[in-house]
Amino acid sequence: MDGAVVMGVERVLVGEMDGAWRDECGGLARRLSEMRRGLEGLGVEKTLGEEDAGGQSSLVRMVGACRVLVAGMLEELQVMEGIEKEVVEEERRWVSEVNREMDREETAKGAGAIWRVL
């Protein structure tokens, strides 16, 4: 990445993630959603009546753990997309502010009596 030095502060411009990243996130979200629906469709809690000494059968615990993992991965994808949007928006605001500051400096330099320049 290229760095930009503005007002004595080094700033790395990030920009939006490329299309391949978005496609991969979308594909992962679809697959994870399908897995979540599949796990919900098992009906494990309803069909298993006998429980082991731990309170739940191993199958119920495994399916429950898989549900938690899938939900966590879906949440992680949403968080990553949210972070990307926030970073891009913050960078746009920063660039706009730098542009406004540069415009103010240019306007301040240009205003005044012509004889002062000569």
Residues 27-66: tens digit of each pLDDT: 999 999 999 999 999 887 654 444 544 677 888 889 989 9
Kindly report each contact of residues 86-89 with a partner whose C-beta sits within 8 Å and lies 24 or more positions away, as own/partner.
Answer: 87/14, 88/14, 88/15, 88/16
| pTM for the model | 0.63
Tokens matching residue 49: 């009546």
- Helix axes 19-41 and 58-110, enclosed angle (nearest 10): 150
Q: Which helix (H) or strand (E) holds 44?
A: helix 44-47
Identify the band that residue 104 occupies on the pLDDT scale cut at 50, 70 and 90: confident
